[in-house]
Amino acid sequence: MKKILTVLVIIISGLVISALLFGAGVMFGRTSGYGMMGNDGYGMMGNSGYGMMGNGSYGMMGNGGYGMMGNGSYGMMGNGSYGMMGNGSYGMMGGNWSENNLDVEPITMEQAEQAVEKYLSTYFDSDLEVAEIMIFNNNGYAIVVEKSTGIGAMELLIDPTNLDVFPEFGPNMMWNLKYGAMGTRGMMGNSFNRTYDNEINMSISKEEASDIAQSYLNEQFPGYQVSEEITPFYGYYTIDILKDGSPTGMLSINGFNGQVFLHTWHGTFVEMSE
C-alpha cells in the first residue's frame, strides 16, 4: 500500500511541476512571439526564430540558419553552406550548386508533365494548373498556379528515379501562407476550417524582390542575373537565375522581410517548358 501511495505521489508531483513549468513558460517566457517561451519567434523556446529552440533561425535548434540544427546555413546540419550537411558549399553534402549530379538519367519533359498532372488531379481541385516545368539533371521542377487568380500556389519536385511528385522544400513549405506547411491548405490537398482571401498583401513588391535578388547575386555569384519573370506566391516570390541568358537555377525572396533563399538541389539545367 505504501509503495502504491509513493508512486501516486511521484506521478502527481511530476504533473504539478510540468503544469507549473508550462504556465511559467506561457506567462513569463513568451515575448513578442507566437510559441511557448518564444522571444520574437514563432516556435517553442525560440529566440528570434521560427522553429523549436531556434536561435535566429527558421528551423529546429538552428543557429543563424534555415534548417534543422543548421549553423549559418540554409540546410539541415549545414555549416556555412546552402545545402544539407554541406561545409562551405552550395549543394547538398558538397559540390557546386549548379552542378550536383546524382548520376541518374534526367527525367523527360513528357514524364514530368504527366506526373504533375496526375498529382494535381489526385490531391487538388480543378482550380490549379501547371504554369512552368523545368528539367534539371537531379530532378524535375514545376510551378503550379491558381487559374482563378494567377497567383502561384506551390512548387513541386519530380524524382527522376521513380517519377514521384512531392512539395519542394524551403520557401514552398516555410513561407507559403496558403498551401505550405502552415497554410490554410495542406500540400496533400487537405482543407482546414479556415479561409484565406485570394490576395497577396506582401510588403515587398515584385520590383523590390527582383532588386534584392540581383543584389544578392552580384555579391555571391557575380555574372549571374535574375530573370525578368517573377512568380508571386502567397508569402514570397520565386525568380529564375540566368547565366548568359540561359536558366541555371532559381531563388526565392520572402515577401515580408526580403530574406533570400537559394534553391540548391536541382543541379544542371536541361530544358524548360511553359
DSSP state of 247: E
Query: What average pLDDT score do residues 254-269 get?
Result: 95
Q: How much is the pLDDT for 72?
A: 40
Write the pLDDT tens digit of every residue in 117-150: 999 999 998 999 999 999 999 999 999 999 999 9
Q: Which residue has the cell 536561435?
A: 55
Average pLDDT over all residues of the chain? 72
Write the pLDDT tens digit of every residue in 164-187: 999 999 999 999 999 988 654 544
Distance CA 235, CA 106 (A): 31
Q: How much is the pLDDT for 121?
A: 95
Structure-block grid coordinates of residue 169: 522544400
**Whole-number Cα distances in Å, 50 to 24, 113, 180, 256:** 21, 34, 14, 14
